[in-house]
Amino acid sequence: MPIVSAFIGILAQGTQFQWDIVWKFLFDSSILQGAIITIVLAIISQFTGSVIGLLIYLIRRTPLRPAAEAYIWFFRGTPLLVQLLFLTNIFPLLNLARPLNSSTIFTDLGFQYMPLSFFLGAFLAFAFNEGAYMAEIMRAGIDSIDPGQMEAAKSLGMSYGLAMRRIVLPQAARVIIPPLGNEFNSMLKTTSLAGYFGVLELYGAGFNIGNSLFKPLELAIDLSIWYLLMTTLWGFVQSYLERRFNASTLDGTKGTRFIDRVLGRGTPATESAAEAIMTGGRR
Amino acid sequence: MTQEQQSSMTPMVAATDVHKWFNQTEVLRGVSLTVGRGEVVVIIGPSGSGKTTFLRCLNHLEKIQQGQITIDGENIGYRVENNGKLKEDSEKNISHVRAQIGMVFQRFNLFPHMTALQNVIEAPIHVLGISKAEAEERARQLLQKVGLAHKADAYPNKLSGGQQQRVAIARALAMQPKLMLFDEATSALDPELVGEVLKVMKQLAEEGMTMVVVTHEMGFARDVADRVVVMDQGQIIEQGQPAALFANPQQERTRTFLGMVRRAE
Ligand SMILES: Nc1ncnc2c1ncn2[C@@H]1O[C@H](COP(=O)(O)OP(=O)(O)OP(=O)(O)O)[C@@H](O)[C@H]1O
Ligand SMILES: [Mg+2]
C-alpha cells in the first residue's frame, strides 16, 4: 500500500523532488506530536513487554509452564501485523470501544484526537509480542548467572524472591541490558506499524501529510531524520547504561563505546552474550 | 527435667537413614549422623562418595527421598503430616531453618556486585531485619576477626581466593548461625593461601562453634576434629576420634583411602 501510493505520488508530482517541502514539514506540529506518541508508545510497550518476559520466566518454573509455552508459541508464531489487527479491533466486541473512544485524553494533553481503542490495542499488541521475545532474553540473562549465587543466597536464609531481586537480577541486568537496548531500538521503529491502525504516531502522521500532498518521498526523508534522531539518542543512553552496569560489577569489562553501538559493533563480551540470547531467531 | 536441659540435650544435627537419588543413581544410601552441640565433625572419603551431597542435604539445598534430618530439633525441608508422612515444607519455613545454618562453599560464591562489607550485611539486613548501622558495626567486627578489616570496601574480584573465602566465612557468621557447614573450603585455593583459611576455621572451632567440615586436609582433621567420619559409596563406613581412626582404621576401604591421601601428600 505505501509503495503504491508513493508511486502514484511520484506520477502526480512529475518526479520532481522538493527539498523545501522536506524542511517545511520537518518540524510540523503533527510530526512533533507523532514523535512524542512514538516515544511514549515504545517506552510503555518495551517496559510492559519486559515485565511480561520476566513473568513468563517465573511461570515457566511452576506447574503453569504450559500456559507460558503456549503464550510464546502464539506470539512468536503469528505476525505482529495480525496481532495488531486483532487487538486494535477487539474492543467493540468487549463493548469497550465506545467508552474508550469517547475519551478526550489526547486532546486534553494538546494532541490531535485519535481513538483510544486504537492506541491501546497497538500498545497491547507491541507489549504482548515483545513479552514473548523478552522471555528468552530474561531466561538467557538469568540463567547465565552461576547457580552458586542463588545457593549462597538461599543458604543465608533468603527466599527465592529476595535472592532473585537482590542477588541474581542485579547481576543478570548486565547481561540483559545490551539485548534489551537493542530491543528498544527495534521497538522505536516497529511502532511505525501502528500508523496503519489509526494511531497518529510518527509514521502515521508523516504518512498522512505525504499522502494528502502527494509528497511521500519528502515526508519519508522527514521520517528518516526523526527515526535516526531517536535511535541515535537512544544509542547514547544505551552506552551509558551499559557502562554504568559494568562499572558496578567491577569485573573489568567495559561498556560498548557509543560509536561502536551506532555502527552495530559490540564489545566481545556483550556481543557473545547478545548472541547467546538472540538464538531462536528474530524479526 | 527443665526445658533448658532438654534443649541442651537435643543434638544440633540428627540425620536418620538419609537416602538420595539423582535420577536413577542412589548417591546417599542410608546415612545416619548425629552431631552434638559444639562438636566438630570432619567428613572425609574418596571423590564421588557423597560428602558434598550429604552436606547440601543438611540445609536442604538438595531434596532427600527417604529419611529425616533435624537441626536443633527442627525438621529441615520437610514437615510431618498428620498421617506420619513427610511433605516438603513451605519456602518460608525452610528459609527460617537455613538462616540458622552457615554454609561455606568450595568456590566462595561471594556476591560479585557487592563489596566485602555489603556481602556481609546483606542477609542480616534483609533476612533478619536488623538496622544497617548495627549490621555494619557487626560486619566490621567480623571482618576484623577474619583479618580483613582493611578490605571492607573491596569488591570480590579484587581479593585473593583466601581473602574471598574469609569474607564468605564472615558473611555466614553474620547470621549468628548455630551450625556451620564447610564444603572443601580450601580446595580451590593456591597452597600458600590454605593456611589462612584453616586458621580462621580452627579459631571458630575453639570458640565452640558446631561444625561439619568436608575436607581433604588431614592435618586439620587430626588437630581440630572431635570426630572423623569416613564416607564411601554413599554410606558412612567408619567413624571415630581422629587419633584412633588415623592410627588404626578398622575398614579396608578406609585404609586404602588414607593410604592414597598419604601418598598424595
Ligand atoms: N546434580 C547432580 N546430578 C547427578 N549426579 C550428581 C549430582 N551431584 C552429584 N552427583 C553424583 O553424586 C555422587 C556424589 O557426589 P558428591 O559431589 O556428593 O561427592 P563428593 O564426595 O563430594 O566428591 P568430591 O570429593 O569429588 O567433592 C557422584 O557420583 C556424583 O557424580
Ligand atoms: Mg564434594
CB contact under 8 A, A158 and B126: yes
Q: Are B201 and B193 in contact (CB under 8 A)?
A: no
Q: Pick the residue of A58, A62, A151, A156 with the most B CBs within 10 A to test the interface with B by mutation.
A: A156
Q: What is the ipTM of this complex?
A: 0.93
By most ligand atoms within 8 Å of CB, the mutation choice from B53, B54, B106, B217 for ligand 1 is: B53
Which residue has its alpha carbon closest to ligand 1 atom 13? B48
> Is residue B67 classed as helix, strand or coil in its secondary structure?
strand
Look over chain A and give the mean of its residue pLDDT values, rounded to a whole number. 87
Q: What is the per-residue pLDDT for A271?
A: 43
Task: Report how many helices (DSSP H) and strands (DSSP E) chain B contains, helices first.
Answer: 10, 12
- Interacting residues of A202 by C-beta distance below 8 A, sequence separation 6+: A31, A34, A35, A37, A38, A191, A192, A195, A223, A226, A227
Q: What is the per-residue pLDDT for A181?
A: 96
* Gyration radius of chain B's alpha carbons: 19
- Interacting residues of B52 by C-beta distance below 8 A, sequence separation 6+: B183, B184, B214
pLDDT in tens, A169-225: 999 999 999 999 999 999 999 999 999 999 999 999 999 999 999 999 999 999 999
Look over chain B and give the mean of its residue pLDDT values, rounded to a whole number. 94
Q: Which of A149, A166, A157 lies closest to B176 in space, CA to CA?
A: A157
Handedness of CA A218, A224, A227, A233 (dihedral sign): negative
Q: What is the per-residue pLDDT for A275?
A: 44
Q: Which among A149, A154, A251 has CB closest to B61?
A: A154
Is residue A82 scored above 70 in pLDDT?
Answer: yes
Distance from C-alpha of B189 to C-alpha of B192, rounded to nearest angstrom? 8
Mean local confidence (pLDDT), B56-75: 95
Which residues does chain A have within 8 Å of residue B96's beta carbon, measured at their own beta carbons? Answer: 157
Q: Which among A155, A160, A248 has CB closest to B113?
A: A248
Mean local confidence (pLDDT), B188-207: 95
Mean local confidence (pLDDT), B71-77: 94
Is residue A268 scored above 50 in pLDDT?
Answer: no
Ligand 1 first shell, C-beta below 6 A: B 22, 27, 45, 47-53
B53 CA closest ligand 1 atom index: 18
Percent of chain A whose pLDDT exceeds 70: 82
Which residue has its alpha carbon closest to ligand 1 atom 25? B47
Q: What is the per-residue pLDDT for A278?
A: 43
Q: Which of A13, A35, A14 lies closest to A206 in space, CA to CA?
A: A35
Q: Which of B42, B100, B104, B27 lies closest to B70 in space, CA to CA?
A: B100
Is residue B188 scored above 70 in pLDDT?
Answer: yes
Is residue A250 scored above 50 in pLDDT?
Answer: no
Distance from C-alpha of B208 to C-alpha of A164, rounded to nearest angstrom? 34
pLDDT in tens, B154-180: 999 999 999 999 999 999 999 999 999
Half-sphere exposure of B56 (CA within 13 A, CB side): 19
Is residue B2 scored above 80 in pLDDT?
Answer: no
**What is this structure's pTM?**
0.86
Q: Are B193 and B161 in contact (CB under 8 A)?
A: yes
B161: cell is 581466593
Q: Which among B61, B110, B127 has CB closest to A158?
A: B127
pLDDT in tens, A47-64: 999 999 999 999 999 999
Q: What is the per-residue pLDDT for B87?
A: 87
Distance from C-alpha of A256 to C-alpha of A185, rounded to nearest angstrom? 15
Alpha carbon of A252: minimum distance to chain B alpha carbons (Å): 9
Distance from C-alpha of A76 to C-alpha of B20, rounded to nearest angstrom? 40
DSSP state of B89: P
Interface check A171 vs B, CB under 8 A? yes
A15-24, B131-140, B242-251: lowest mean pLDDT where?
A15-24
Is residue A256 scored above 50 in pLDDT?
Answer: yes
Ligand nearest to the CA of B53: 1
Q: What is the per-residue pLDDT for A259?
A: 62
Q: How confident is the model at residue B25 (pLDDT cuts 50, 70, 90)?
A: very high
Q: Are B253 and B237 in contact (CB under 8 A)?
A: yes
Q: How many CB atoms lie within 10 A of CB B213?
A: 26
pLDDT in tens, B26-46: 999 999 999 999 999 999 999
Q: What is the per-residue pLDDT for A282?
A: 41
A261: cell is 553501538
Q: How confident is the model at residue A257 (pLDDT cuts 50, 70, 90)?
A: low
pLDDT in tens, A127-163: 999 999 999 999 999 999 999 999 999 999 999 999 9
Mean local confidence (pLDDT), A6-24: 73
Q: What is the per-residue pLDDT for A134?
A: 97
Percent of chain B whose pLDDT exceeds 90: 90
Which residues does chain A have within 8 Å of residue B128's beta carbon, measured at their own beta carbons? Answer: 157
Which residue has its alpha carbon closest to ligand 1 atom 24? B47
B150: cell is 582493611
CB contact under 8 A, A154 and B105: no
- Interacting residues of A23 by C-beta distance below 8 A, sequence separation 6+: none
Interface check A166 vs B, CB under 8 A? yes
Q: What is the per-residue pLDDT for B32?
A: 97
